[in-house]
Amino acid sequence: MISIRKALANDAPAIWFLRRSAIYKGCIGFYPDDTLKTWADAPPTEKFQRNIESDCYLAMIDGRIAGFGILDLDSGHVGAMFVDPVHMGQGVGKQILGYLEDLARAAGLKQLHLDSSLNAVPVYRVCGFIGEQSAKYQSPTGVTLDCVKMQKPL
C-alpha cells in the first residue's frame, strides 16, 4: 500500500540517499560512468533543501520512503522524481505523478512540464507525457545531462 505525504525538512538526508541510489541503478548505460558519479555523489544543494521543504511529496510504503517528486505549483515544472531501486517497476512513480497532477489541477494549472533523464522517458510516456526535443539539463550539482523536454496537458 502506497501513501503520499508532504516531505519535511528532516526527510532531506533520506531523500538525497534515495536519489543517489536511483541514479546509480536507473541511469547506468544511459550516461557515462564519470557523469553518473559526479551527479549522484555531489552533496545536497541549498536549492534542494528549499525544494524539499516547499515542493516535495513522498511515496511511503510500510513507513519508508519509496520515492519522491518535486512540483513547482507556480510554474507546473516537475523538478525531480526518483524511485527507490527496491520499488522500481511497482507503480510508485506512476502514483507520485498522479498525485502531482491532482495537485496541479487543484491549483488551476493546465499543463505539467519536465526535463526527463534519458532512462525515464518511457516511464513518462506511459504516464501521458509527450515530447521529443533533446536538450541539456544543468543540474544544480554542476553536471550537464542529456535530457528530453516533455509536457502533459491536464
Q: How far from chain centre, in Å, is Cα 45? A: 15
Torsions phi, psi of 113, nearest 5?
-145, 155
pLDDT on residue 111: 97
**Please, which pLDDT band fits residue 28 given cuts at 50, 70 and 90?**
very high
Q: How does DSSP assign 113-147, residue by residue?
A: EEEEEGGGHHHHHHTT-B---EEEEE-TTS-EEEE
Q: What is the per-residue pLDDT across 74-100, written as a single tens digit (0 to 9) for each?
A: 999 999 999 999 999 999 999 999 999
pLDDT on residue 7: 97
Q: Rounded to whole angstroms, what are the CA distances from 64 to 3, 73, 75?
A: 10, 25, 29
Residue ranges covered by each domain of the chain: 2-110
Q: What is the per-residue pLDDT across 135-144, written as a single tens digit (0 to 9) for each?
A: 999 888 889 9
pTM value?
Answer: 0.93
pLDDT on residue 45: 86
pLDDT on residue 142: 83
* 83: nearest Cα among 51, 53, 36, 123: 123
**Please, which pLDDT band fits residue 64 given cuts at 50, 70 and 90?**
very high
Return the percentage of the chain with pLDDT > 90, whole number: 88
* 83: nearest Cα among 101, 60, 53: 60
2-110 folds as: Aminopeptidase (3.40.630)
